[in-house]
Amino acid sequence: MWIKTKGKIAIKFFRNIFGRGKNSPRELELSNFILGPTVGTGSYATVCLAALRGDTFAQTDDGNSASSLLCGSSSSDLFSTNGVGMGDVKNGKDEHYAKLSHIVDHHDGRRYGYRNGLHGESIGDSEWQSARNSSASDIMNLSPSCNESYTSPLQGYTNLNQEDNTSQSNDFSPALFTCALKILHKRKIVNDRQTKHLLNEKRILESINHPFIVHYLGSFQDPINVYLILEYVPGGELFTYLRRSTLDLYTTQFYASEILSALDFLHSRSIVYRDLKPENILLDAQGHIRLVDFGFAKRIRNKTFTICGTHEYLAPEIFLRKGHDKSVDLWSLGVLIYEMLVGEAPFYDKDPQRTYRKALENKIYFPPYISESARSIVEALLRVDPTLRLGSRGMAEVWSHAFFRSTKFFGQSAPIKPVINGIWDTGNFLEYPEVWRRYHERVTKVEQERFFSEF
């Protein structure tokens, strides 16, 4: 499980044990993990909950132990948010995001355009079941000095006794570090011409750090698959909550603000996300969001012409092949705000072509209960002409809209509280089949050197 700390500290530690450092003792391989249930599948990716085995841990390059590296900063350094306000967020300053950042369990999964396209059955691994039954004292096996320097993320879990977290041992339990293991089949990636998207995902994730974006922790590979190690977020997809009920105005404003914060951060670094939808927004143990699945994300200078995304969230300039920029994310945000309030996308049709026609006609039906500020923000974000779209002159334009101006979300408790029965709980996700083990076809030596040498 991820303890609350600065993302860069945890990332440094994991890259060292993943064989990235000069003196790292070993390369990471699949046998270093206890594999848990599959929590997501896609066209060429499967996501499993996993835990690093205890014998994987070793000293880092500078001789520090795992506990001293992860717990070397004081809690005041890690969690102080004094002076962090909307103005600081809009400036996109790394130090403010680092102070807000905390790593707690996370999952990454993808629908590839099908709202119910994931299917499944969980893994019945006896070793995993044993790990699930670990007590809090088994899991949080930290030294007293380490315990004094951080706030435990076990707060908020319903069945763990934090008074047990006082072990004198400096060793880490085999079950301490859980993660989401994203497994990507090389042959399918090459066949589907997704190699650039995979490289973009890795390069972008390893270069960013934001409290509302999934943390990337490393990668490794074998002859058949590439494995991305990500934080595991146990609260499930926003999509699941929207299937149960629409959201009230405040809840919609709260989550739209966190999403906008993540998009603002990405856009300030010339990154367009291009796959905003409820399936790619997960809730952590406290109910705050993590934006996941960066397979379609891309660094751009001006315009790009790749057609990608999910049809009911596509901005017109994408499906019209006119070239697009970061404003496509704002169109998707408008669709998402409407969906959170109403329960379905404004232009949705099973036939993508009909969805596109409806988007161009731009006739949006608003139920009577929709507030004036919500109606206004949706209409402003869903303008067909991207040069007239709210935010086309900068994110400050979006933040200043009445819909966001009235919402205080930093430092506030999230309106949705996921039910999580322990650190191994996957109950907020559907169950999916373990399909990734069925693939055995390998890439050629030339393909390996050309497409996968970075992993």
CATH code, 369: 1.10.510.10
Q: What is the pLDDT of residues 309-362, one digit of tens each?
A: 899 999 999 999 999 999 999 999 999 999 999 999 999 999 999 999 999 999
Whether residue 396 sits in one domain with residue 255: yes
CA separation for the pair 86, 412 (Å, rounded) = 13
pLDDT for res 421: 87
pLDDT band at 182 (very low <50, low <70, confident <90, very high): very high
CA separation for the pair 243, 222 (Å, rounded) = 38
pLDDT for res 353: 95
Could you give the residue numbers annotated as active site?
Answer: 275
Whether residue 398 sits in one domain with residue 317: yes
Q: Is the pLDDT of residue 230 over 90?
A: yes
The vertex-292 CA angle with 291 and 297, nearest 5°, equals: 95
Whether residue 333 sits in one domain with residue 221: no
Extract the tokens encoding 136: 């809090």
User: Domain for residue 11, yes or no?
Assistant: no
Which of 141-145, 260-264, 327-331 comes out lowest in average pLDDT? 141-145
User: Domain for residue 190, yes or no?
Assistant: yes
DSSP 34: E
When pLDDT is averaged across residues 187-202 and rounded to a whole number, the result is: 95
DSSP 432: B
- The region, left, alpha or beta by phi > 0 then psi within -120 to 50, assigned to residue 113 is left
Which of 59-63, 210-214, 387-391 comes out lowest in average pLDDT? 59-63
pTM above 0.85, yes or no: no
User: Domain for residue 66, yes or no?
Assistant: no
Extract the tokens encoding 97: 């995001």
Whether residue 384 sits in one domain with residue 272: yes
User: Domain for residue 127, yes or no?
Assistant: no
> With contact defined as beta carbons under 8 Å apart, do 181 and 227 qualify?
yes
How is 281-298 classified by DSSP, letter by letter?
EEE-TTS-EEE---TT-E
CA separation for the pair 106, 230 (Å, rounded) = 7
Whether residue 326 sits in one domain with residue 448: no
CA separation for the pair 145, 71 (Å, rounded) = 8
Q: Is the pLDDT of residue 15 over 80?
A: no
Whether residue 437 sits in one domain with residue 361: no
> With contact defined as beta carbons under 8 Å apart, do 4 and 76 qualify?
no
Q: Is the pLDDT of residue 6 over 90?
A: no
Q: What is the pLDDT of residues 145-159, one digit of tens each?
A: 222 222 222 222 222
Contacts with 439 (C-beta within 8 Å, 6 or more apart), sequence order: 185, 187, 188, 224, 225
- Percentage above 90 pLDDT, the chain: 55
Whether residue 362 sits in one domain with residue 438: no
pLDDT for res 13: 53
CATH number at residue 225: 3.30.200.20
Cα-based distances in Å from 388 to 18, 26, 183, 365, 379: 47, 54, 40, 21, 11
Contacts with 346 (C-beta within 8 Å, 6 or more apart), sequence order: 335, 338, 339, 358, 364, 365, 378, 382
- DSSP 3-state of 303: coil
Whether residue 350 sits in one domain with residue 224: no
Amino acid in the structure at residue 222: D
Whether residue 430 sits in one domain with residue 314: no
Q: Is the pLDDT of residue 266 over 60?
A: yes
Crossing angle of the two packed helices 249-268 and 327-342, in degrees rounded to 10: 170
Q: What is the pLDDT of residues 389-399, one digit of tens each?
A: 999 999 999 99
Q: Is the pLDDT of residue 302 over 60?
A: yes
Cα-based distances in Å from 197 to 42, 129, 181, 184, 293: 14, 35, 18, 12, 11
Mean pLDDT of the chain: 75
Crossing angle of the two packed helices 372-381 and 327-342, in degrees rounded to 10: 150
The larger pLDDT score, comparing residue 40 to residue 166, is at 40
